Amino acid sequence: MASRSGFFSVVAKELKRVFTDRRMVLTVVLLPGILIFVMYSIMGEALGRLYQVDEDYRAQAYAVNLPASFEALSEPAGLAFSEAGAGEVAGIKADIAEGSSDLLVVFPADFEASISAALSGSPGGPGGPGSPGGTIPDVQVFFNAGNIESYAAFEITAALLDAYKNAALPLFSVNAADEEFNLAAGSDNPATMYLSSVLPMLILLLLFSGGMGIATESIAGEKERGTIATLLVTPLKRWELAFGKIVSISVVALASGTSSFLGIMLSLPKLLTTEMMGVSGEGLSFGYGFGEYALLFVVIVATVLLFVGVISIVSAFAKTVKEASTLTMPLMILVIFVSLSGLIFPGGQSDWWVYLIPAYNSTQCLNGIFSFNIESWQVLITVCVNVLATGLCVFFLTRMFNNERIMFAR
């Protein structure tokens, strides 16, 4: 009778086939990551030159105690400030955080007077640098780095203040206080914005293409070469063969996907070091903790099992690897279409039924995880649905392995 370890033998054989073959390790595991790293690094360079704020855009900028001399400087630079009172500061800061306003500059009440006094050498100016123990007047600039327009306005203001400061050096400072001036929420930083919209698509595509290469070879290839018939004439149970194939191919697809993912993460600093972000690559922080990575792993595993299950069924139908690759292409297009939904509905959807749709639920979950907008029930439903769908794939693949017309068709 069949050995109990039939399933494990199949898994071990399939993994040995890939991981002890230097050529397979190179093409399936290493190359995807290396290629992505090189490609994205080049893309980062190109994107940096392309991404700019619309020239016609007028920033929603507010200033408290706006000095006339600074206003005269800022207007030619395309930055028109609206006057605001000290009491409005909290409200404007909230607007900036929300994205409805771009910038708030708070000057000290006696800013111009103290600068003039200092320049004329009068020690009497309040807080004048000339006065021993006096404090340097501080200009506060609030902005939101997650908002491109806000960040652009900040950059202009900072440059203007720099010029102003150089003329009056060192009569005042900018943002010297120990306070958070970038009002973007943790999830709003440019890196997480990028990750939550683009990465789900990339991850799904990489997982699918990783599974596609190896599943077509492992199932259609074995059919084509006649080696699967040698297995079918042993007491090995068909479900053990089907499940063993799906699990082992998934492991390889995960390895391939991980390589690609590392390629993306390592090239991100270069990709995001652009003028649009104004973020130094080395200083990038995504703010993801163990929880996010654990959820990410669970969703990815459930998704790759599903993908491999579906590709395996298509591969079992095909007579040759070539035919299997051709038949898998429409599925690839479907995955592209589904994964694009991450761009259409960024941040994850809250309707529960969305998570009942295999593959689409994965996009929504990844989206939610990357934008810190995920609920545990969403992940739970997604994993359950995708594992159940994989179970159905194992069932159908088992039936196909039992079907002589499919397995021995000429």
Residues of this chain that bind another protein (CB under 8 A): 1-3, 5-6, 9, 13, 16-17, 21, 222, 225-227, 229-237, 404, 408
Minimum CB distance to another protein smaller for 120 or for 227 = 227
Residue with tokens 């111009």: 112
8 A C-beta contact, residue 128 and residue 118 = yes
8 A C-beta contact, residue 245 and residue 231 = no
- Smallest distance, another protein to C-beta of residue 22, A: 12
- Smallest distance, another protein to C-beta of residue 235, A: 4
- Smallest distance, another protein to C-beta of residue 51, A: 47
Instruction: Give Rg (Cα) of the chain.
Output: 29
Tell me how far apart the terminal alpha carbons of the chain are, to the nearest angstrom.
30
Spatial CB neighbours of 356, under 8 Å, sequence gap ≥ 6: 381, 385
- Smallest distance, another protein to C-beta of residue 249, A: 15
Minimum CB distance to another protein smaller for 225 or for 322 = 225
- Smallest distance, another protein to C-beta of residue 200, A: 35
**Pairing, β 61-64 against β 81-84:** parallel
What is the dihedral angle through the alpha carbons of 82, 84, 90, 95, rounded to the nearest 10 degrees? -20
Minimum CB distance to another protein smaller for 241 or for 305 = 241
Minimum CB distance to another protein smaller for 6 or for 125 = 6
8 A C-beta contact, residue 112 and residue 69 = yes
For residue 272, give the nearest of 53, 97, 55, 41 by alpha carbon.
41
Minimum CB distance to another protein smaller for 17 or for 165 = 17
- Smallest distance, another protein to C-beta of residue 409, A: 9
Minimum CB distance to another protein smaller for 223 or for 270 = 223
Residues 314-325 as b/e (b if ≥16 CB within 10 A, e otherwise) read bbbbbeebebbb
Alpha-carbon distance of 386 to 315, in angstroms, equals 20
